[in-house]
Structure 1
Amino acid sequence: MALPPAFLDELRARTPLHGLIGRKVRLNRNGRQWKGCCPFHNEKTPSFYVYDDHFHCFGCGAHGDAIAFLMRAEGASFPEAVERLASEAGLEVPKPTREAQARERRQRDLHGVLLAAEANFRARLHRPEGRAALDYLRGRGLTDETIARFGLGWSGEGRGALAAELKAAEGIEPAQLAEAGLLKPREGNGGGYNDFFFNRVMFPIRDRRGRTISFGGRVLGDGQPKYVNGPETALFQKRRGLYGLDLAREAAFRGAAVVAVEGYMDVIALHQGGFGGAVAPLGTALTAEQLGELWQLSPEPVLCFDGDAAGARAAARAAEIALPLLAPERTLRLATLPNGEDPDTLLAKGGPGAVRAVLAGAKPLSTALYDLLAEGRPAATPEQRAALRARLETAARAITDKALASEYRRALLDRFFEASRKKNFRVAVKPQRAAVDPPAIRSERARNLLAILLKNPVIIPEIEESLAGIDLPEGHPETLRAALLAWFARADVLDSTLLLDQLASSRAGEAVTWALRGPGLAKEARPDAQPAEALAAWWHFFALLRGEAELSEDCARAERLLAVTNDPAAERRLKHLTEARLALRGGEIGLGTGADP
């Protein structure tokens, strides 16, 4: 049944999917989507998600639109599902046009042409003319069973043999082979066609339903290009397909890890080695459409890259494409191969255990993203650190899901500040003090510093980096600092009541009670304190905790950063640091200054 695409698009747009599916499945709101137990397999923990335009089960892989749901849930045929939805939407189903019927018939015919070509290539592989190709495949460690499972073949030398044989055996015309991407028009005015593939090992490319839609070919010897894919056709678009997708779909349904690698032979070797979730892009960098296909197989597929500079660039590009598409139920892990190895060679040398070790070491995208953005870029000067921080924040902002973007920003900046603290610890000059402050005094100073923020969170944007970088006593101070920074990353309104309500019900609740308990708090740790007063008091306690030598270094770094950026925030930070250093040096501040009795 061929229907105009515009009609089907309007039908889907007029059908609220969660309302349709909610008749059979109890759905609960989960962010921007709905969630429930899958109606297509028995499960106790919900893994069935309903979005605006499609549903997807991360347990069994069921996926589709409103039409597909009716077909699967009620056993309706395509025409029956369309008729029912159209009736509910107040639409009249158009009668198929001759053009639409011809297009559907042509696509059906193309599948038949490609299937006949695949059979021809497979037969050639086992003829004397294909002996070198068969020896090559067996030399790469492939068994005859694997060769058959992936439909591998041999193109022959070209020169019109494919067209001649298929016309004689199947009645397939050269124009059909050209439309399927197997022949190309001959240049010049002589007319006719040339073979697209010749002297190549042939790899059928299949869609998720297992239908052959094109071919890839590998030349034997040192010819170039080593691999070529068929041209774009009515059935085949490179950016939308994945090699091995049909087999990986079955393996993922059985619980196999979904792994995206680089090449055809990597996919085949991994499948033969027991890693049935392996797929590969089709000669291009990973695309948004291919990521969508991966996420239909698994909520957390693994992207596996070479351990060299090219692999790092490919990983960075994949992360850039993935960030706007991330969601709480849709992410990635990145694995890095040993330098000089690909999955095929690693499997041959180290066996399945070596591959499992690489996959076990795959990093969550948030961790890998920091490494990609920071690696090879020095962060020794204020200018370099500011540039790195800007890259990290830009990456987090690329995520369209607001809550997830906040979590990424917090995770990336936590790494940034942690690296800064470690660096400062290694290079810090010993404070010029007569004696180290007793722990009880440092604890009280940290309590005042944090209590001021609990009651006056509006000043956090001014002091965020300094708060993250200062050494605090272990226990409640460290716990509360982490909670404050995490809350700030997600907060829409910097309100003390909202902050305290949220922290009170979190693991930081005891730390909040500790910070606000009893006497000894500065008067600025009150909600009625003016922001300027609270900010000055915060820098007061910061200076006491930081020490004169460290403050001098902070001032020097802030001064250099201001000279480069001319940023008002940098100017204010330098002013506060300078005043705090001078006050500390002059003995004008002490533990009890400004505190309640």
Structure 2
Amino acid sequence: MSLPPGFLDELRTRLSLGQVVGRKVMWDQRKTNQGKGDYWAPCPFHQEKSASFHVDDQKGFYYCFGCHAKGDAISFVRETENVGFMEAVQILAGEAGMPMPARDPQAQEKADRRTLLADVMEQAVQWHKLQLQTAAAGAARDYLDKRGLGPEAQARWDIGYAPDNGGIMAHLTGKGVDSKLVIEAGLAAESDRGGSPYDRFRGRIIFPIRDGRGRAIGLGGRAMAADARAKYLNSPETPLFDKGRSLYNQKPAREAAGKGTPLIVAEGYMDVIALSEAGFGATVAPLGTAITEDQLRLLWRISPEPIIALDGDTAGMRAAMRVIDNALPLLEAGQSLRFALMPEGMDPDDLLKAKGASAMQDLLDQAIPMVQLLWQRETDGKVFDSPERKAALDKTLREKIKLIADPSIRSHYGEAIKQMRWALFNPRNTASPRKQSGGARQPWNRNAQPWQRSLSPVPSNKQSALGAGAANEDHLREAVILATLLATPAVASEFEAQLERMTCADETHTRIRDGILTHIGAVDVVETLTAELAFDPLEKLKEQTHVRITPTVLRAGDIEAARLCLGHELARLSAMRGYAREVSDGMEDTLDDVADESVTWRLAKAAAAVDTSVRRETNDTADFETAENGAKLSKDERSAFDDMLSRISLTKKGQGEAG
């Protein structure tokens, strides 16, 4: 709604800024000169003991010499009550006795009707408060006392009581209120049998529900009878009250959150009251429903990252899980949710009574991000012992991540899920000694810091003639691979799987590899790793001359060249190490007298893999011979291969003679 010219100037003229601010501060009488409109007080926007907050009532401005807050009456109301511009204008216009500019006739009629209904609701709140002090409400007062709510707390929260026989309709109509207004406000309902209207709330403790402006818009009733049809009953939908767009304790919580207090979302009235009484003033609750999209938007207008603190039972966890599905499509940068998980079987009120406010604060400090609870929901109690189950998990998580509209958040969620997936599917364990000696790679732990990760075992080639010179060649290939990834980090994600399987020959290469995997997708990988490792990883690798003159290092950022180089070098490294393991394992089989034709077959397959990678590397066959299966082998490899076959032949001959 637009405001007519001069409206705000007239509003500021009619208001006394000293009176507006005076509701929130205590003036320092030693420095204040009211006659001149010169006021001083401790600043309401930051903690201080001295009076550095100055109000110039004649000019209509305030300024703090401590935190430098400044503004006029409108900005003061916006900041102290955490409301929007138009809400602040409406609040001040009401104080100044200025009607807000007229809207279209229908809108004005609706606004007038809501004002009437709000007045009816406020009368009902006050009547129910009086009923709580009667003899008929003795059991209700005892219940509240047991819950830790004495008379003062009851008065602060306007808690009331609806007698078993009702009475609100009779009271309000006796005060001249039209019965149709009582029904429209949701306090009474028409009888299906055609009789006189009946009171909706009977035999219940009454909790008033107020909107962001503090107006009573509905009631919540807690049944005293154990056999009541519903333990909690809220007002029905009315022109004033929409439970899917309202929050219990909204106005006080908004004001507290505006001062920096974390916003907490509890499950019910008693949790909100208990938390607020314990010092957690920025606490709200939905009204008998799962948190809706409208309520989420309302929460984010109050605070960018509310903490959901639902009960630690099955129903509470189900409610938390439903929140995730509603929130994912609405996420924006800096706008999310965190979850404080209550101990099993406890709600916030139980926790406060059992362990105090410090225990609650500890839980709030440990609140987990939404992505972690999403992962927990999809994995807890499930076993992923087959490719099909793992694929089903991947599909479910992909579908959930697709719900996020913001591409940046979607990307970060994918990265976080990937890290948790690796932690689940690659737990730390040790392979058999024989496989470790053959070069089996221990799983890489993405979650650990680079200096915390254990080193992968280094393959041993002591039993093979391939060990001569092969280790140096492997080390050089690793260096070229790592340097290429650092020079062109944009291609790292395409080779992530191969890089994770690559066993590094020394500690330095291992740390660089783990660092690259940790920061895949980042553009400043070298700078980040330099800070983490305390040395420049690319310069370290370039100490080897061959690495320094590698084309992909010289032409940093050439994506196509980097792809070709990495594809070739990783394939060659994998083939050579695979062949070395087969030779090593084959020699063990021979020594253990278990050699058979399968050893020859395995060696031939490994040699063929080497041949494929060699053909990509060079057309120069001067130093290579051809095996029986057509694979090209170096002279050293051929010698080891022939030696292997000779051992197998002798073993089989000995077995025949023994037979």
Common fold by TM > 0.5: yes
CA distance in 1, matches of 2:303, 2:498: 40
Quick check: 1:470–1:546 contact (8 Å CA) kept in 2? no
Quick check: 1:181–1:230 contact (8 Å CA) kept in 2? yes
**What one-letter code is carried by the residue in structure 2 that aligns with 1:247?**
P
Instruction: Give 2:117's match in structure 1, choosing from 107, 110, 135.
Output: 110
CA distance in 2, matches of 1:386, 1:70: 56
**What one-letter code is carried by the residue in structure 1 that aligns with 2:293?**
A
SS in 1 for 2:189: strand
The equivalent of 1:27 in structure 2 is none
Give how far 1:454 is off. Answer: 4.7
- Per-residue CA deviations over 1:119-150 (Å, capped at 9, x if unaligned) read 11110111011111111111111121111111
CA distance in 2, matches of 1:44, 1:443: 61
The equivalent of 2:397 in structure 1 is 392
The equivalent of 2:572 in structure 1 is 540
- Per-residue CA deviations over 1:539-560 (Å, capped at 9, x if unaligned) read 333566899889xxxxxxxxxx
Instruction: Give 1:295's match in structure 2, choosing from 297, 300, 318.
Output: 300
CA separation of 1:227 and 1:401: change in aligned 2, threshold 3 A: same
CA distance in 1, matches of 2:528, 2:604: 36
1:218 aligns with 2:222: yes
SS in 2 for 1:430: helix
Give how far 1:476 is off. Answer: 6.5
Percentage of pairs with the same residue: 31
The equivalent of 1:165 in structure 2 is 171
Quick check: 2:308–2:337 contact (8 Å CA) kept in 1? yes
1:519 aligns with 2:527: no
- Per-residue CA deviations over 1:320-376 (Å, capped at 9, x if unaligned) read 221222222212211111111111111111111221222122112233332233222
**What one-letter code is carried by the residue in structure 2 that aligns with 1:176?**
L
CA distance in 2, matches of 1:259, 1:544: 58
1:181 aligns with 2:181: no
The equivalent of 1:146 in structure 2 is 153
The equivalent of 2:368 in structure 1 is 363
Instruction: Give 1:431's match in structure 2, choosing from 417, 436, 446.
Output: 436
- Per-residue CA deviations over 1:153-180 (Å, capped at 9, x if unaligned) read 1111245x21111222x31122111111
Highest relative contact order (Cα 8 Å, sep 6+), 1 or 2?
Answer: 1
Give how far 1:181 is off. Answer: 0.7
Query: Between Structure 1 and Structure 2, how many residues are aligned?
Result: 501
**What one-letter code is carried by the residue in structure 2 that aligns with 1:283?**
G
CA distance in 2, matches of 1:279, 1:218: 17
CA separation of 1:100 and 1:291: change in aligned 2, threshold 3 A: closer
Quick check: 2:578–2:606 contact (8 Å CA) kept in 1? no
* 1:68-147 correspondence to structure 2 within 5 Å: 96-147=103-154
Give how far 1:533 is off. Answer: 5.9
Quick check: 1:524–1:534 contact (8 Å CA) kept in 2? no
Q: Which deviates more from structure 2 when the two are superposed, residues 431-440 or residues 200-209?
A: 431-440
* 1:104-503 correspondence to structure 2 within 5 Å: 104-158=111-165, 161-168=167-174, 170-188=175-193, 190-222=194-226, 223-422=228-427, 430-433=435-438, 436-437=458-459, 444-454=476-486, 460=492, 462-468=494-500, 478=511, 482-483=515-516, 486-488=519-521, 502-503=524-525
Larger Rg: 2
SS in 2 for 1:305: coil
CA distance in 1, matches of 2:358, 2:87: 40
CA separation of 1:132 and 1:259: change in aligned 2, threshold 3 A: same
The equivalent of 1:529 in structure 2 is 561
CA distance in 2, matches of 1:525, 1:63: 57
CA separation of 1:448 and 1:279: change in aligned 2, threshold 3 A: same
Quick check: 1:205–1:243 contact (8 Å CA) kept in 2? yes
Quick check: 1:61–1:297 contact (8 Å CA) kept in 2? no
CA separation of 1:270 and 1:80: change in aligned 2, threshold 3 A: closer
CA separation of 1:229 and 1:60: change in aligned 2, threshold 3 A: same
Quick check: 2:496–2:517 contact (8 Å CA) kept in 1? no
Quick check: 2:164–2:203 contact (8 Å CA) kept in 1? yes
CA distance in 2, matches of 1:391, 1:508: 37
Quick check: 1:430–1:549 contact (8 Å CA) kept in 2? no
Quick check: 1:525–1:534 contact (8 Å CA) kept in 2? no
Give how far 1:285 is off. Answer: 0.6
CA separation of 1:415 and 1:155: change in aligned 2, threshold 3 A: same
CA separation of 1:308 and 1:454: change in aligned 2, threshold 3 A: same
What's the TM-score, normalizing by structure 1? 0.71
Give how far 1:319 is off. Answer: 1.6
SS in 1 for 2:218: strand
1:64 aligns with 2:84: yes
CA separation of 1:478 and 1:99: change in aligned 2, threshold 3 A: same
Quick check: 1:264–1:280 contact (8 Å CA) kept in 2? yes
SS in 1 for 2:248: coil
CA distance in 2, matches of 1:523, 1:388: 41
What's the TM-score, normalizing by structure 2? 0.65
CA separation of 1:185 and 1:548: change in aligned 2, threshold 3 A: farther
Quick check: 2:164–2:202 contact (8 Å CA) kept in 1? yes
CA separation of 1:369 and 1:512: change in aligned 2, threshold 3 A: farther
SS in 2 for 1:399: coil
CA distance in 1, matches of 2:398, 2:126: 53
